[in-house]
Structure 1
Amino acid sequence: MVKEMTKNNKDKYRQFSELENTIPLFSKGWWMDAVCGEDWDVILVEENDKIIAALPYYFEDHEGFKEIRKAPLTQNNGIWISYPPNQKYENRLSLEHRLMSAVIDEIEKLNINKYQQYYHYSITNHLPFFWRGYTQSTRYTYVIADTTNLDELYKNFSSSIRNKIRKAEKSVSVVEDLSIEQFYQLNKMTFERQQLTIPYSLELVSRIDEECDKRNARKIYYAIDKQKQIHSAAYFVWDEKSVYYLMAASDPAFRTSQSLSLLIYEGIKLASRLGKKFDFEGSMKKNIEEHFRQFGAKQFPYHHIQKTF
């Protein structure tokens, strides 16, 4: 049985998540510190003094009410569960139902107005939430699960993507480690082209960059031409299992060079060298979804779970 339920135990979770390699990047304690500052907490389920389930969450005040929401630049959080090895499927479901129910009990003690989180695609079961009145909608990411054979991966790209990569290779070179300030200014241009305000600050991006750099868990690639003009840049981060395409930036004046497709290919090569999956982080926008799947990635559904109290 669950022996102890604790809240507000971030120090314990920070230490645990640094060592537990099955906790995805966006649920690590250090990542939550970087993107949320003080505005996060965690529900822990412990048994025999061991953490067996956790739910880190970002919260903010909205019109006088406290809400749990998606954290900035964070694809997913949601529940993490420690599964015993070689567990029967029926026992796995039973464990999920028990631990999810325990976590839901704690969520509903938080005196919040609204709950919504995106769960990692490894969590396929949301029935305990459904039974408690939570709603679920499906979102998609695209993942290249096996990056071992780059030649086969390249053959699996659409002809359109291969043509874009070849075109870019004729006009730009790929260089590493643009400064985070330069990246952010280029990133802003991507939003300004769409007449949008960039939804995160340089301070936030700098905190992420600092923490990832400490752990050797990030790479910035950028495409530059012979005139030293930067066409685009891509920001990749990784955990023990996956490389994530976190942010992209491009100068609207050079969109036709197709340099961003070349940079994504460099990110896939990076994942191959590291022996990891490549996660595009997905998008529900039609033109972005089409671009991602042309790299031969497979569609992975994940849950958006929410409830208004």
Structure 2
Amino acid sequence: MNNEYTLIETLADEKWDRFVEDSLNGTIFSNSIYLKASSVKFKLFYCYKKEELRAAVSVVEDAKGESLILDDLVIYNGIMYNKPTNKQNHAQQFSEQFKIQEFIANELTKLYKNIELNLHPSIVDIRAILWVNYGTELPKYQPDIRYTSYIDISDFKTSKKLEDISIYNKASTSRRQQIRYAIKKEYKTKIISDVSLLIEFYKKTMDRQDIDVENEKLQKMEKLVSGLLGQNMAKIYASYDEKDELGSIALFGWDNKRAYYIFGANDPAKRDGHTGTNVLWEAFYDLSKMGIDEVDMEGINSPNRGWFKLSFGGNIVPYYEIKLGE
């Protein structure tokens, strides 16, 4: 029994948001505004070492509150470590994180029947989670490696020409060609506030792929986007072709660390154009001017969307999806 740490349920308030902002592992997806706007059944915990706050945990519960589940709108959650204390050296930081992780992983098994978490890519050591119930017949955590792509946009704001941009030179030949075509044909990307238009385009995109999207999910998306726009935590970018016809829309949100590509959608009738490329490329310019240096493309785990996102020249970054079930 570990009496060194305690796990205490907490509120989605300003103190929570400050912790998320300060933690290397904290993201917009654990921010109180995002969670409340997402309509998920979330629960938050602090992990204390005696009186000292050392970590936090953000989770999504099922309807009954008996299990932890993954949700399409919450890309990362789980454990977030506090900043190391001044007295800790490098090795001591790793040691403490191991102990915290072991304690939290065990505590969650006492609270929930089944557990699903998507840990942030910055959490690379999950040994303590995997060793829970080691040597027993009890359920054990199972990891699945997922992938996203990080794109460096820090040089967009200072570039004078395309070749000045690092990821342009790393992008695929076809992606560079699409970027040049959009510029030559004078495509325009605007920032819009019409949330319903984004949802309409998303539904069109899913319909083209024969994916049936429930109205409940569309309503949740609309509430989330409206909530983020209202708090100046996101922008909707819309790309128009040379005929001034709308072809693609993308939503980017951000925190104090990076921006996140949250949704994207295209008009199926405009798929042969260049708006799908242009909307992201122009968004990178705008986000860079805001002082954001990095974009998380939020998953490259499906073949078609994965290749498209990677064609922009970003780096591949792994993260862990963790599951425990009876």
TM-score computed with the length of structure 2 as normaliser: 0.85
**Structure 2 matches for 1:225-244, cutoff 5 A?**
225=241, 227-244=243-260
> Partner residue of 1:60?
62
Deviations 1:118-161 (A, max 9, x none): 11101111111100121111111000245235523222222211
The whole-number CA distance in structure 1 between the counterparts of 2:98 and 2:247 is: 49
Q: Is the contact made by 1:79 and 1:119 (CA closer than 8 Å) also made in structure 2? A: yes
**Which structure 1 residue ranges, 5 or more long, are not aligned?**
none
Task: Give SS of 1:142's match.
Answer: strand
Is 2:22 the partner of 1:15?
no
Q: Is the contact made by 1:212 and 1:237 (CA closer than 8 Å) also made in structure 2? A: yes
The whole-number CA distance in structure 2 between the counterparts of 1:67 and 1:215 is: 31
> Partner residue of 2:39?
36
Moved more, 140-149 or 120-129: 140-149
Is 2:207 the partner of 1:192?
yes
The alpha-carbon distance between structure 1 residues 203 and 162, as it changes in their structure 2 partners (threshold 3 A), is same
> Partner residue of 1:164?
178
The whole-number CA distance in structure 2 between the counterparts of 1:186 and 1:26 is: 23
Q: CA deviation at 1:2?
A: 4.2
The whole-number CA distance in structure 2 between the counterparts of 1:95 and 1:73 is: 31
> Partner residue of 1:89?
90
Deviations 1:47-68 (A, max 9, x none): 464432111111114xx88321
Q: CA deviation at 1:271?
A: 3.1
C-alpha RMSD of matched pairs (Å): 2.2
Is 2:315 the partner of 1:298?
yes
Q: Is the contact made by 1:59 and 1:67 (CA closer than 8 Å) also made in structure 2? A: yes
Task: Give SS of 1:144's match.
Answer: strand
**Which structure 2 residue ranges, 5 or more long, are not aligned?**
133-139
Q: CA deviation at 1:226?
A: 5.2
Q: Is the contact made by 1:189 and 1:251 (CA closer than 8 Å) also made in structure 2? A: yes
Runs of 4+ in 1 over 6 A off after TM superposition: none
The whole-number CA distance in structure 2 between the counterparts of 1:137 and 1:88 is: 31
Letter in 2 for 1:294: S
Letter in 1 for 2:141: Y
Match of 1:25 among 17, 20, 28: 28
The whole-number CA distance in structure 1 between the counterparts of 2:50 and 2:293 is: 33
Task: Give SS of 2:35's match.
Answer: helix
The whole-number CA distance in structure 1 between the counterparts of 2:67 and 2:7 is: 21
> Partner residue of 2:198?
183
Q: Is the contact made by 1:70 and 1:76 (CA closer than 8 Å) also made in structure 2? A: no
Q: Is the contact made by 2:121 and 2:319 (CA closer than 8 Å) also made in structure 1? A: yes
Q: Is the contact made by 1:165 and 1:259 (CA closer than 8 Å) also made in structure 2? A: no
Moved more, 228-237 or 200-209: 200-209
The alpha-carbon distance between structure 1 residues 226 and 299, as it changes in their structure 2 partners (threshold 3 A), is closer
Task: Give SS of 1:95's match.
Answer: helix
Matched-pair identity in %: 23
Q: CA deviation at 1:228?
A: 4.3
The alpha-carbon distance between structure 1 residues 85 and 271, as it changes in their structure 2 partners (threshold 3 A), is farther
Match of 1:250 among 252, 257, 266: 266
Moved more, 191-200 or 238-247: 191-200
Letter in 2 for 1:181: S
Task: Give SS of 1:79's match.
Answer: strand
> Partner residue of 1:278?
295
Task: Give SS of 2:101's match.
Answer: helix
The alpha-carbon distance between structure 1 residues 28 and 249, as it changes in their structure 2 partners (threshold 3 A), is same
Moved more, 242-251 or 96-105: 96-105
The whole-number CA distance in structure 2 between the counterparts of 1:202 and 1:172 is: 29
Q: CA deviation at 1:305?
A: 0.7
Task: Give SS of 1:122's match.
Answer: coil
Is 2:229 the partner of 1:220?
no
Moved more, 187-196 or 261-270: 261-270
The alpha-carbon distance between structure 1 residues 3 and 156, as it changes in their structure 2 partners (threshold 3 A), is closer
The whole-number CA distance in structure 2 between the counterparts of 1:2 and 1:152 is: 50
Moved more, 238-247 or 69-78: 69-78
> Partner residue of 1:124?
124
Task: Give SS of 2:189's match.
Answer: strand
The whole-number CA distance in structure 2 between the counterparts of 1:95 and 1:119 is: 18
The whole-number CA distance in structure 1 between the counterparts of 2:286 and 2:213 is: 27
